[in-house]
Structure 1
Amino acid sequence: MTHLDALILGIVQGLTEFLPVSSSGHLVLGQALLGLKQHSIEFDVVVHVATLLAVVVYFRSEVRMLIADSLSALKERPADVMDANQRLVGARLTLLVIAASIPTAIIGLGFEDLFEQLFSSVRAVGGFLLVTSALLWLTWKRGGEESSAPRYETLNVRRALVIGLAQGAAIAPGVSRSGSTIASALLCGVERRSAASFSFLISIPAILGAVVVRADELGAIPADQYGVLALGFASALISGLCGLWFLMRIVNRGGLYLFGFYTAAVGIAALILG
């Protein structure tokens, strides 16, 4: 892999990881239709760590709140922690993140081999991109008005489980993780900014899990690849932060459905050309 390859792939990974267009779907299409080569396991792990760091940096206030309130909640009763009106918002949010992660893990571990076969099918990707489009279009006029801060009281365990199922479904190439989770949250009645923030908070354990699984396959990294990996990391981190900034503003203004036109166009093209 050249430095230019690392730069381009890092930017693409950083943007498509967070924009609701399906990074896995674009990877399959890029390999099949444009002749792009699949990058190494080392590069895959590095860019995933970069996107994980992008989420933590962008949502650093929420992450600090989750940690601080969860530590304080150790002295509280579980029922008090889950009270939407209580002061330890971060502790309640932590439990909701855990709840959402359970169905995601079950689907990811239980159906990985099944969906792995679809990564060789351009038409399957095209079909799943159309599913993503339908979900995005359903969010039109959902989620209330534009807000300056998230209102996490609109989240509960049932809604968290539904959002976690949507995140698990994104194991299919062409189904956008951010698109499916934000859309499912909005359709469940969660306020816009809370839907987007929660989507990315639950991505932290999901991405971390993917990194751990892939890291187990790592081999020795050649010395001449250090610079390439560093460039891929930096480009994925910066583009990921830009992608998060952009999407949060689009979602808050009720424009998530607009991405559906792009995924529909790409999906139809994949069905025709596949």
Structure 2
Amino acid sequence: MEVHAILLALIQGLTEFLPVSSSAHLVLPSVLLGWPDQGMAFDVAVHLGSLLAVLYYFRREVVTLAQSWWVSLRGGGHSAESKLAWCIILATVPACVAGLLLGDLIGAYLRSGWVIAMATIVFGLLLWWADRMARQCKNEYQAGWRGALILGCAQALALIPGTSRSGITLTAGLMLGLTRQAAARFSFLMSIPVILLAGSHQASGLVASGAVMPWPAVSLGVLVSFASALACIHLFLNLLNRLGVLPFVLYRLALGAVLIGVLTQA
């Protein structure tokens, strides 16, 4: 149990913020090794670890954005930070609406190995195309309301398993003319309310069900996903400009091919 928890939390933490699809990686242990589903409590735990990691890494930005947003809410005028905060809130709306309206349908009909494999490949190629065509002339403060809404709709597409929330929002950001760093930073910041809301929804369902909490696995999940996600964010932002997105695209193509091979043999 501990080995399963550590490995799955490590996979979640490393892939949550990379443009490589965490769902594609999480399906592999169950398909290849026959591991059982760890359950909703563990899912909440690893997402909590990821949330804590991004909050800690961007703690100064989050505090500044929250303070500026509160000032603007009280009629104190808008700053670049308050506008960015409102853009992040706007970008959260499409994913929330799509999740509420389509979440059950997607879970019932699209959560399959074949969908994950094809989405991993198709959206990986789209990321490569966006990077090739990108103008990369704007920072995250220049995304604007239209850009925020487009990024939010892109984030809603990540409900399709295999898409990668990080990957599709990075793709949309590049298409809007953001630099790689700006697109990645906006993607990380807009992940905070989405992970928080999704985790809260799962947690409320867990409490309502009266399920017994597997505390050892939950604790391991939080700690390992936090540490791995924090390392992942730091390395990704430092390497993105030097490496570009091609290594991640090639990795996605290889991963998709592996999944197709495994599913074909199953």
Distance 1:117 1:99 in 2: 28
1:89-112 Cα distance to aligned partner (Å, 9 max, x none): 221111101111111112222221
Q: Hey, what does 1:42 align to over in structure 2?
A: 41
1:147-168 Cα distance to aligned partner (Å, 9 max, x none): xxx9333211111111111111
- Correspondence list, 1:240-251, <5 A: 240-251=229-240
Distance 1:207 1:215 in 2: 12
The offset of 1:249, in angstroms, is 1.9
Aligned pairs, how many?
259
Cα distance change, pair 4–34 in 1 and its aligned pair in 2 (3 A): closer
Query: 1:236 is aligned with what amino acid?
Result: S
Q: Post-superposition, which runs of at least 4 consecutive aligned residues in structure 1 deviate over 4 A?
A: none
Query: 1:191 is aligned with what amino acid?
Result: T
Cα distance change, pair 118–248 in 1 and its aligned pair in 2 (3 A): farther
Q: Hey, what does 1:30 align to over in structure 2?
A: 29
Q: Hey, what does 2:83 align to over in structure 1?
A: 92
Distance 1:228 1:153 in 2: 40
The answer to whether the 8 A contact 1:10-1:233 is kept is yes
- Correspondence list, 1:113-128, <5 A: 113-118=104-109, 120-128=111-119
Query: 2:45 is aligned with what amino acid?
Result: V
Distance 1:106 1:71 in 2: 24
Structure 1: runs of 5 or more not aligned = 82-87
Q: Hey, what does 2:168 align to over in structure 1?
A: 180
- Correspondence list, 1:185-224, <5 A: 185-218=173-206, 219-222=210-213
The answer to whether the 8 A contact 1:143-1:192 is kept is no
The offset of 1:251, in angstroms, is 2.5
Percent of counterpart pairs with the same letter? Answer: 36
- Alignment RMSD, CA only? 2.0
Cα distance change, pair 135–185 in 1 and its aligned pair in 2 (3 A): same
Distance 1:270 1:245 in 2: 28
Q: Hey, what does 1:166 align to over in structure 2?
A: 154
Cα distance change, pair 177–50 in 1 and its aligned pair in 2 (3 A): same
> Where is the helix percentage greater, Structure 1 or Structure 2?
2
Query: 2:49 is aligned with what amino acid?
Result: A
Structure 2: runs of 5 or more not aligned = none
Distance 2:219 2:170 in 1: 31
> Which range moves more in the overlay, 4-13 or 28-37?
28-37
The answer to whether the 8 A contact 1:135-1:179 is kept is no
Q: Hey, what does 1:84 align to over in structure 2?
A: none
The answer to whether the 8 A contact 1:152-1:194 is kept is yes
The offset of 1:14, in angstroms, is 0.5
Cα distance change, pair 153–209 in 1 and its aligned pair in 2 (3 A): closer
Aligned residue for 1:216, secondary structure, equals helix
The offset of 1:118, in angstroms, is 4.2
The answer to whether the 8 A contact 2:111-2:161 is kept is no
Query: 2:95 is aligned with what amino acid?
Result: T
